Amino acid sequence: MADAVAGHLRHKTAWYRDMSGPFVCPDSKIIELGTALTAANVAELDLALVLPGGAASLDAAVDSVFADPRLRLRAVELPIAAGDEPSAAVAELASALDRTPLTGAAAFIEIPVRQLTADAARTAADHRYLAKLRTGGVTSEAFPDERTLGMALIVLAEERLAFKCTAGLHHAVRHRAGDTGLEHHGFLNVLLAVGAALAGANADAVAVELADRDADRVAAKMTQLDPDTVAAIRALFTSVGTCSTVEPITDLVTLGLISQD
């Protein structure tokens, strides 16, 4: 935790600080986080609170955050209950969030990519909550293929439900990891796929954007996006949760899309 806090503080003072979001921490580590903040003499910290156990720990977790005046709650992220019908599970979780004072923090409801239906997305949107998609993990099954993810992006675009992605998106462009052999989506591919979905592309066309491994071509497409399209994409695709800030920044520098100058 001490290393994580120190790294976050470095990122928040670096030249790319505007690209670095809140500190992501599970509810089980809040006390440990407080100890690390004390040791590092940190006066305040923007926090995205993750609750892997779902709504059962929501009240206690939020209370523990509010009990530490240094923590500024910016987001709450929690999954729907496993095994339930997706729309009903989203409705149940949304009701729990409705009863919880979040003081303006965003709430992300994690819906498995393969279970993201229009009804589930619409239910989240009706409560003004956002979606969270898990795009990777430690097994091949944790990575949705490009068509499955593409169909989920089309649903989100049609319902205009803003979302974030988490897991497996450390790099800008789709690739096969050398150490695990697992297929990783690229966050720039997702951006372009969202743009295609917003333009009304079908599942095949959206999947093509997600499957593109040509880094130069992907980067060129990014530079060709007009400001209105960029704004529309970013209004829908809000952020990426990653355990590395350096890797995505390095990719963007290498591709010539950002620079320190």
Specify if 6 maps to a domain.
Answer: no
Q: E-strand spans in 136-214?
A: 163-166, 175-176, 183-184
Domain annotation covers residue 34: no
Residue 253 maps to a domain: yes
**pLDDT beyond 90 at 168:** no
In a domain, 199, yes or no: yes
For residue 251, pLDDT beyond 90: yes
Q: What is the pLDDT of residues 36-84, one digit of tens each?
A: 999 999 999 999 999 999 999 999 999 999 999 999 999 999 999 988 8
Considering the domain boundaries, does residue 56 fall inside one? Answer: no
Phi/psi of residue 72, each to 5°? -110, 105
Residue 215, strand partner residues: none
For the chain, the distance separating the N- and C-terminal CA atoms, rounded to the nearest angstrom, is: 32
Confidence of residue 167 (pLDDT cuts 50, 70, 90): very high
Specify the number of domains making up the chain: 1
Which range of residues forms the domain containing residue 170?
A: 143-261
The answer as to whether 68 is a domain residue is: no
Token pair belonging to 116: 């993201």
| Residue that the structure tokens 């990719």 belong to | 251
Torsion of CA 87, 24, 183, 81, to 10 degrees: -20
Tens digits of residue pLDDT in 143-157: 999 999 999 999 999
155 in a domain, yes or no? Answer: yes
pLDDT, averaged across the chain: 96
